[in-house]
Structure 1
Amino acid sequence: MADLFAPDDIPPVPADAPLADRLRPRALAEVVGQDHLTGPEGAIGRMVAAGRLSSIILWGPPGTGKTTISRLLADAVGMRFEPISAVFSGVADLKKVFAAAKDHARRGEKTLLFVDEIHRFNRAQQDGFLPFVEDGTVTLVGATTENPSFELNAALLSRAQVLILRRLDASALEQLLDRAEALTGRPLPLDAAAREALLASADGDGRFLLNQVETLYSIDLPQPLDPAGLSALLHRRVAVYDKDREGHYNLISALHKSLRGSDPQAALYYLARMLTAGEEPLYVLRRLVRFAAEDIGLADPQALVQCLAAKDSYEFLGSPEGELAIVQACLYCATAPKSNAAYSAMKSAWRSARETGSLMPPQNILNAPTRLMKSIGYGKGYQYDHDAQDGFSGDNYWPEEMQPQSFYAPTERGFEARIAERMAYWERLRAERRPK
């Protein structure tokens, strides 16, 4: 049975190699932060235990171990590792890879083809993988930071299992710091608050964290740095964190909850706490944009506009002038009517889409650009709403195998009250015009 340990013949990493390379795991068991995949009950752990590997897509943020896991996975199941990058490779490179894989297959050696940034291949190039994946010439392991549902062909996705890597949490990042200190035999030249600030600034990216650590070790510092000294040295805005708090995540949670609770004073306080501590303003703006869509939605559609305008204003003015626009967006969100109806509708619609699979829409609402499509009924009987009474046909737009669903239920707050009136009006018309 295969295990989670790498073979003994992996060449040692040169002593002058970058710290991230010297700390690169030599076995799947050493990978941090991805136990849900590499552990005994995880998808990768089960594959390794069975000694058989299926094609997979590794989807996750930068610096979470996609390349490392792929290389160690090949070692663990005894496969030849062939890496390529979609950024630097074309059709000719793929043909060479597939030809070499066929030659190795004749000698009984299987190939794990690792494709970094696989989403950068166009649709035709992605289709080129299919016959070689299907006949077993290669086992494909693709890595992407983008949503595979949008960036990869459906045919390719149907032949590969998508595994989601998590951003590295504080515990996983702390393990990397401990390993760096053990390898170098030196403690990091940081006080406790600066160490927490360094972890927070990595934003879940292990590679970035180790690069920052290497910079710290390369400088002879007379005494440990505090958060302000760390920020000045690394030329990054690093937040200050109280020792008895979890800092970054607690403050953003407090800001979000204060906005949701319509308390503009508290929201402004937590916004100030974050910005004066050195938090990235664009990070705060991303959270405000998310809040406007999730917690306000169509109760006040201008909230999203205000937040995006604040982002543009900040990018145009910079700090400190542009921070006033962030304040304005924060106060607008806090004082706006609240609704999560759009957010709830999204979750319900996504769940329904997963459950119903690939049902065809009714033929009458399908376009028929060709004679063949017209002859088989595409577009037949479509009612053009602008020609109907009240500009509303009341037609059925749902697949024949599916009953109409109700995902979006607008509240009686703000602009959504008007939307609710329109939807009720259309439903009355629909009932009146429904065939008896």
Structure 2
Amino acid sequence: MADLFADDVPPPTTVHEPAADAPLADRIRPRSLDDIVGQEHLTGPDGAIGRMVAAGKLSSLILWGPPGTGKTSIARLLADAVGLRFVALSAVFSGVADLKKVFAEARQAAKAGQRTLLFVDEIHRFSRAQQDGFLPYVEDGTVTLVGATTENPSFELNAALLSRCQVLILHRLDHAALCKLLDRAEELTKRPLPLTSDARDALVASADGDGRFLLNQAETLFDVELEEQLDPAGLAGFLQRRVAVYDKDREGHYNLISALHKTIRGSDPQAALYYLARMLTAGEEPFYLLRRLTRAAMEDIGLADPQALVQCLAAKDAYDFLGSPEGELALVQACLYLAVAPKSNAAYSAQKTAWRSARETGSLMPPAHILNAPTKLMKDIGYGKNYAYDHSVEGAFSGQDYWPEGMTSETFYEPTDRGFEARVRERLAYWEEMRREKRNPSDEE
């Protein structure tokens, strides 16, 4: 592959001080790893990054975390901390030609004794083939790769690439970390934000853990001359509301639907309603949620409350009839009904067990006495012989054996003692006792 690399390469990408008129988020970027806020579990002395810096040896990394949590700043400062040449690419705007050029430059720099840290933002946007292209250069030390992603690496990155990198998880910035960013912004601009204390808290809450978004909003406030401080209501009118971070085909989608399902299963109507609201306000398709609620009704409630399924189907019809936003109340009602209903997964467990048994015994014929005999030949060979019509028997229960010959009866459905299933349990026990008595008349004595 030596022919890919030129003898003369451009100088490495360097990090410049931001211009005086640069966006506030750029001007306030941390100057050292100690200035990173909210990620002390990584950058502190006992954190993975802190230990690497102390040892002066950096392994390839994947930084996984929400937007605006410091991934780019950490990568840049890591290069400074361990003396590596820093090169940055965005997977959104780069292709194979850009990668070849970077690797060629890194090879030339290595000959001069300068190792390269290659930072790839949004690394999950590269195709699987492009991700494979990193492997030889990471393995031979041409580059130390630091990739940044907002998506779960387990789903979005090749296993081969993941096996060569350490995945570090960045936390969304908490209230204290975001307040530190505002303090630094006020110190840099030498101006206080024109906000009341409550409005300042509301501004921090609106950032939803995203430091970059918070600083952009703060810059908007710094850029205007206000005669009086804004209260929360004034702030809401002044700034645009932030759209919830939510990709319907990404991990955040599956995390929230998992949370909704499990809070329903855990009988917590308040938390269930919260996650339902999170998804609806973020733009989730209501019919998707209705399908998931219906699934929960069957999987986690079943016959403990047969009305749960009815409530979900009625909610679907109501939403279909009313549309949004009026119809969303039907989803709320169904969600709350499921959360407060008695729980049972007996039907769900019965399905799995019965399916397994059917696969194992699928060639066995039902007993002849319960087979229809539409022809004389079928009657002659015993189809339908001695069948007991239950409605003609006392108690409408014959107690006949309905299992295939050569197969003993199995128990798939075991109702709980909760809700309606408690009555079903009693009924099954009664039938089982009658069945035993009919098959063993001597036991009646």
- Whether the TM-score (by the shorter chain) exceeds 0.5 is yes
Q: For residue 107 of structure 1, what is the aligned residue in structure 2?
A: 112
Correspondence 1:16 to 2:6: no
5 Å matches for 1:19-98? 19-98=24-103
Q: For residue 301 of structure 2, what is the aligned residue in structure 1?
A: 300
Give the drift of 1:226.
Answer: 1.5
Whole-Å separation in 1 of the counterparts to 2:421 and 2:58: 50
Note if contact 2:43-2:49 (Cα within 8 Å) is conserved in structure 1: yes
Whole-Å separation in 2 of the counterparts to 1:213 and 1:102: 43
Q: Give SS of 1:300's match.
A: helix
Correspondence 1:129 to 2:128: no
Give the drift of 1:185.
Answer: 1.6
List alignment gaps of at least 5 residues for structure 2: 1-13, 244-259, 303-307, 347-357, 367-413, 429-445
Aligned-pair identity in percent equals 65
Give the drift of 1:113.
Answer: 0.6
Note if contact 1:295-1:340 (Cα within 8 Å) is conserved in structure 2: no
Give the drift of 1:335.
Answer: 2.7
Note if contact 1:262-1:335 (Cα within 8 Å) is conserved in structure 2: yes
Moved over 2 A (4+): 9-13, 255-264, 283-286, 291-298, 300-303, 316-319, 321-341, 383-391, 409-418
AA aligned to 1:231 is A
Instruction: Give 1 or 2 for the bigger CA radius of gyration.
Output: 2
Q: Give SS of 1:223's match.
A: coil
Whole-Å separation in 2 of the counterparts to 1:410 and 1:188: 62
Correspondence 1:331 to 2:336: yes
Note if contact 2:301-2:338 (Cα within 8 Å) is conserved in structure 1: no
Give the TM-score normalised by the residue count of structure 1.
0.63
1:175 aligned to which of 168, 171, 180? 180
Q: For residue 237 of structure 2, what is the aligned residue in structure 1?
A: 232
Whole-Å separation in 2 of the counterparts to 1:103 and 1:140: 17
Note if contact 2:36-2:70 (Cα within 8 Å) is conserved in structure 1: yes
Whole-Å separation in 1 of the counterparts to 2:337 and 2:176: 36
For these two proteins, the number of residue pairs brought into alignment is: 323
Whole-Å separation in 2 of the counterparts to 1:79 and 1:293: 55
Give the drift of 1:340.
Answer: 10
Q: Give SS of 2:18's match.
A: coil
Whole-Å separation in 1 of the counterparts to 2:294 and 2:110: 51
Q: For residue 282 of structure 1, what is the aligned residue in structure 2?
A: 281
Q: For residue 204 of structure 2, what is the aligned residue in structure 1?
A: 199
Q: Kindly report the root-mean-square deviation, in angstroms, between the aligned alpha carbons of the 2 structures.
A: 4.4
5 Å matches for 1:203-352? 203-236=208-241, 282=281, 298-300=299-301, 319=325, 321=326, 323-338=328-343
Note if contact 1:295-1:339 (Cα within 8 Å) is conserved in structure 2: no
Q: Give SS of 2:230's match.
A: coil
Whole-Å separation in 2 of the counterparts to 1:35 and 1:84: 26
Whole-Å separation in 2 of the counterparts to 1:39 and 1:82: 25
Give the TM-score normalised by the residue count of structure 2.
0.62
Residues 10/329 of structure 1: CA separation in 2 closer, same or farther (3 Å cut): same
Whole-Å separation in 2 of the counterparts to 1:89 and 1:10: 19
Q: Deviations over 1:186-219 (max 9, x none)?
A: 2211112221111111111100111111111122
